[in-house]
Amino acid sequence: MFYSKKTARMIICASVFFGVLSGCYKEGFIRGSNELILNGSLLKGPVSGATITITNYENIAIWQGVSDQHGNFSSRFSLVEDSLFNVTMGVEKSTEMICDALECFDDSGNLIASYAEEVLLSELGDIQLKSLGSSNTTNTSFQVNALTTLVYDQVEGRLEDGISNSGLQRVARDASKVILAALNLDIEETNLLDIHVLYLDQASEEQKQNTQATTLAIINAAMAADLSTLSNISQAISDFNSNPNSDLARVNLSNLKTDLMGSAKRLIDSGEVSNLPLSVATNVKLAKNTEIKFENLSAANDALSAQIEVVNAQSRISGASGGSN
Of 284-288, 313-317, 319-323, the range with the lowest mean pLDDT is: 319-323
Mean pLDDT score of the chain, rounded to an integer? Answer: 83
Res 15 pLDDT > 70: no
DSSP 76: E
Element (H, E) at 83: none
Whether 15 maps to a domain, the answer reads: yes
> 108: exposed, middle or buried (C-beta count within 10 Å: 0-12, 13-18, 19+)?
exposed
For the segment 58-68, the average pLDDT, to the nearest whole number, is 87
Angle at alpha carbon of residue 308, lines to 304 and 313, rounded to 5°: 150
Taking only the tens place, the pLDDT of each residue in 147-161 is 999 999 999 999 998
Number of domains in the chain: 1
Supply the DSSP string of 10-51, one letter for each residue.
Answer: EEEEEEEESS--EEEE-----TT--EEEEEEEEETTB-BS-E
- The pLDDT-based confidence of 226 (bands split at 50, 70, 90) is very high
| The pLDDT of residue 317 | 82
pLDDT digits (tens, 9 = 90+) for 24-57: 333 333 333 346 565 554 545 457 788 989 899 8
pLDDT tens digits for range 165-224: 899 999 999 999 999 999 999 998 899 988 878 888 888 999 999 999 999 999 999 999
Q: Can you tell me the mean pLDDT for 98-114?
A: 92
| Residue 324 reports pLDDT greater than 80 | no
Residue 5 resides in a domain: no
Q: Read off φ and ψ for residue 238, nearest 5 degrees.
A: -65, -40
- Report residue 70's pLDDT band, with 50, 70 and 90 as the boundaries: low
Contacts of 123 (CB under 8 A, 6+ apart): 106, 112
In a domain, 2, yes or no: no
Q: How far apart are the first and last CA of the chain?
A: 17
With respect to residue 178, please indicate whether it lies within any of the assigned structural domains.
yes
CB atoms inside a 10 Å sphere around CB 78? 15
Residue 182 lies in a domain: yes
The DSSP secondary structure of 196-262, one letter per residue, reads: ----TTT--HHHHT-HHHHHHHHHHHHGGG-THHHHHHHHHHHHHHH-TT-HHHHHHHHHHHHHHHH
Q: Which residues contact 213 (CB under 8 A, 6 or more apart)?
A: 195, 196, 197, 198, 207
Q: For residues 299, 301, 303 and 305, what is the CA-based torsion angle, rounded to 10 degrees?
A: -150
- The verdict on residue 144 lying in a domain is yes
Taking residues 10-25, what's their average pLDDT?
43
Reply yes or no on whether the pLDDT at 10 is more than 50: no
Structural domain boundaries enclosing 54: 10-320
User: Do residues 162 and 323 touch, judged by C-beta distance below 8 A?
Assistant: yes
**pLDDT (0 to 100) of residue 201:** 86
Q: What is the pLDDT of residues 272-297, one digit of tens each?
A: 999 999 999 999 999 999 999 999 99
pLDDT above 70 for 143: yes
In a domain, 123, yes or no: yes
pLDDT bracket for residue 124 (50, 70, 90): confident
Highest mean pLDDT among 15-19, 52-56, 58-62, 235-239: 235-239
User: Cβ(61)–Cβ(51) under 8 Å?
Assistant: no
Within a domain: 1: no
Q: What pLDDT does 2 receive?
A: 38
Average pLDDT over residues 4-31: 41
pTM above 0.85, yes or no: yes
CA distance 163 to 82: 6
